[in-house]
A = this chain, B = another copy of it.
């Protein structure tokens, strides 16, 4: 790994911009295919939205993406291929649901809510499951009812299809906790597509059997770094890209004090960040208007560290869900051996936007107050509270991922991955399937590499794509 200031003039067959899972994968695969590559990263570190913090004894807590879903997810399989296994997230005991201050325990499929709420939410979830099966994972805009489903917000759909206050609140929570966006932000089609990527609507927020079931040994960030090892010589940090000149038969990628020249470029950053690069010549309107429209979700992640996971002794899994609290969800994020105790608190969607405007002390007080309300006074006194506000990170600008507002898929969908001349698009949001996840990012990196390699062989890239993305279940 080099600092770009030491190598301010680079040449390679392919320049890859962004060293998250997508960019690292693209660089690896291109190198393996015999191409010379240069992987440029704006930050001083690799891994994108994955980020670990060491907490002693070789253990880490995860400030970014954390869950890899089911054992057959693309990310889990990738982990195993480089010797990184997974372990189950703690899921024994009762979960909690908080509804405007009334906290109750629950177990099994459904929280303790009124039968009317349960029936209402259940029928809606079933309807979503039926609809999502009609959405092609590779091209959601080709679903039979794509136009209609893409033109309304998830909020409107919920108002029309759920009758109870409680049912609507649960549906809102699914979107806010599962996607870090408000139901008004996203189209119904986006939710259906997203649910396809996670292996089903319920799986979006489920531990056992869902996207939250497993975590990488040593953390997701560790996997990113392991994968990056094979392209260490080709990796340059501190390289914030500002301009891409792509006329003629070369691409020139420039930033403060550096220049990288290649035959092609892979943009492996979230669409809203790719939008902030100066392209010369300008991108066609079709792609430009897509990138204007995609936006990052809103999430702040908190990690509260305790001497031990005391909630387990109380028969609790550590999971809380709440449609009313700014802490929309919590989960047990302890290391595999259970020490120290770690609770993750997710502040997502509108509460993240509101909380971000308080002082650091104000935010801390709110989060600790909510943890104490859920798990008792001890939860309000962690020995450390770590805050990671992804919205404030200049090279991320939101989490968990970008989302599609109404109209985006049907008006601009194909522009998500259609190359513009010598510019190829990767990133977790450039694939409709397993959208926004580590798996999606890895898949997108392979797809971009495959596209470029295919240009040499003359084969159509579709024939070269990695197998079985359709059946694999995603993670986050």
Contacts and interface: CB of A to CB of B under 8 A. Distances in A.
B286 A295 contact: no
* Majority secondary structure, A binding face: mixed
Interface in A139-179: 150-153, 155-156, 159-160
Contact of A288 (B187, B397, B405, B407): B397
A296 B286 contact: no
A411 B298 CA distance: 11
A242 B278 CA distance: 9
Given A285-B391, A293-B295, A398-B292, A151 B184 contact: yes
Interface stretch (A31-39, A57-65, A350-358): A350-358
Most chain B CB within a 10 A radius of its CB, from A187, A276, A292, A350: A292
Contacts of A282: 392, 394
A398 B282 CA distance: 13
Interface string A270-314: 001001101000101110110011011010000000000000000
A353 B412 contact: yes
A182 interface: yes
Nearest to A293: B295
A323 interface: no
B296 A295 contact: no
Contacts of A394: 282
Instruction: For chain A, give the interface size range.
Output: 35 or more
A295 B289 contact: yes
A271 to B, nearest CB: 10
Contacts of A183: 151
Interface in A392-440: 392, 394, 397-398, 405-407, 411-412
Contacts of A405: 185, 293, 405-406
Nearest to A288: B397
Nearest to A294: B292
Nearest to A392: B285
Given A289-B295, A392-B282, A405-B405, A151 B153 contact: yes
Contacts of A295: 289, 292-293
A155 B152 contact: yes
Contacts of A159: 152
A389 interface: yes
Contacts of A292: 272, 295-296, 397-398
Nearest to A240: B278
Contacts of A278: 242, 276
Contact of A407 (B160, B185, B286): B185
A391 B276 contact: no
Contact of A184 (B182, B242, B284, B407): B407
Most chain B CB within a 10 A radius of its CB, from A182, A184, A293, A357: A184
Contacts of A296: 289, 292
A289 B398 contact: yes
Interface string A107-130: 000000000000000000000000
A289 B391 contact: yes
19 contacts: A152-B155, A153-B156, A155-B406, A160-B160, A182-B407, A184-B407, A185-B406, A272-B292, A275-B275, A275-B276, A285-B389, A285-B392, A285-B397, A286-B357, A289-B397, A289-B398, A292-B295, A353-B411, A406-B406
Interface of A: 150-153, 155-156, 159-160, 182-185, 187, 242, 272, 275-276, 278, 282, 284-286, 288-289, 292-293, 295-296, 298, 350, 353, 356-357, 389, 391-392, 394, 397-398, 405-407, 411-412
Given A275-B275, A275-B276, A293-B405, 14 more contacts: A152-B153, A153-B153, A160-B160, A184-B187, A185-B405, A242-B242, A276-B276, A276-B278, A285-B353, A285-B356, A286-B353, A288-B391, A293-B295, A405-B405
